[in-house]
Amino acid sequence: MGDSLQKSFLGVIVLGVSCIVVELIPVSRQAFFWNRCLDSTRMWIDETPDLEEWSEKAKDSLAVGVCNGAVYEPKLRTDKSRTNNN
């Protein structure tokens, strides 16, 4: 009786771990694509001459916003472009 109970518990544990692994696959894919977006956006920001004087935290914040879809303007507005337009 005890041996069959241990096998049952082992089966339940294996089933639980399998379900967790299956549930993590979409999350890991999304994390992979988001990290790739962050890296490529950060490279683009580093190559943009208008943003050279920005701090690293500001550049990271902009990259996160772009990858999260929070940047809506097609043209990036910097402090220089704001003062020139006003």
Question: How much is the pTM?
Answer: 0.64
Torsion on CA atoms 20, 21, 27, 31, rounded to nearest 10: 140
**Tens-digit pLDDT profile for the chain (86 aa)?**
668 889 999 999 999 999 999 999 999 999 999 999 999 999 999 998 888 888 999 999 989 998 988 866 656 666 665 555 55
Q: Is the dihedral of CA 42, 48, 49, 54 positive or negative?
A: negative
